[in-house]
Amino acid sequence: MPTFLDLLVIQGCLGAYDVLWHHEWKECLPERPQAIREQKLHGVRELLYAVAFVGLAWWRWQGAAAWLLAGILAVEMLITGWDFVEEDRSRRLSPTERVTHLVLSMNGGAYLVLLYSHWLEWNRAATGFALVDYGIRSWLLTALGLGVFAWGLRDCRAGWRPPIPADAMPPAHAREV
């Protein structure tokens, strides 16, 4: 059973924690006009993760499809880097959010390193998608993929909405625990 899938499940769970706790509860990002660019980045990245979660849950990406997967993951990494810069420009991150991002980055790097040996094998195969079933891991990744897809659409919508006039905004604050 590929270990990269276990790390991908952890990535999805850590990402869900980051979004729900930091972005939604503490920072209320979808309602903040200064977070529109960040919401766009989050939305697109979440849609890419949806493809990765569901795509790796049920298929081996072979031949040219392996390169498509590599491209999707490379774009996700570029968006993550851009998001780090954007977050530093638009708001002050809490210590727990910074640490969560660090752990997400380390785990993401680890799953990519472990995926690489499989990718090399898949790249040598005839182009196409070979159906696989990793049992509970496939189902967990599917659930994470559906959740992150829905949240990606929501964040894209928040990022591409017309700006809310400042006088119509509730007071900006981070929620205290």
Write down the pLDDT at residue 2: 76
Cα(91)–Cα(70) distance, integer angstroms: 31
Q: Give strand pairing partners of 130.
A: 60
Q: Which of 1, 8, 2, 41 is nearest to 107 (CA)?
A: 8
What confidence tens digit (pLDDT) does each residue in 97-134 have? 999 999 999 999 999 999 999 999 999 999 999 999 99
Cα(116)–Cα(104) distance, integer angstroms: 18
DSSP assignment letter at 26: I
Does pLDDT of 87 surpass 70?
Answer: yes
* pLDDT confidence tier of residue 146, bands split at 50, 70 and 90: very high
Q: Where are the alpha helices (DSSP H) in the chain?
A: 3-17, 36-58, 64-90, 95-124, 136-159
Contacts of 156 (CB under 8 A, 6+ apart): 39, 40, 43, 44, 47
Does pLDDT of 177 surpass 80?
Answer: no
Write down the pLDDT at residue 175: 54
pLDDT above 70: percentage of residues in the chain? 91
pTM: 0.89
What's at 114, amino acid-wise? L
What confidence tens digit (pLDDT) does each residue in 149-174 have? 999 999 999 998 776 665 655 555 55
| Average pLDDT along the chain | 92
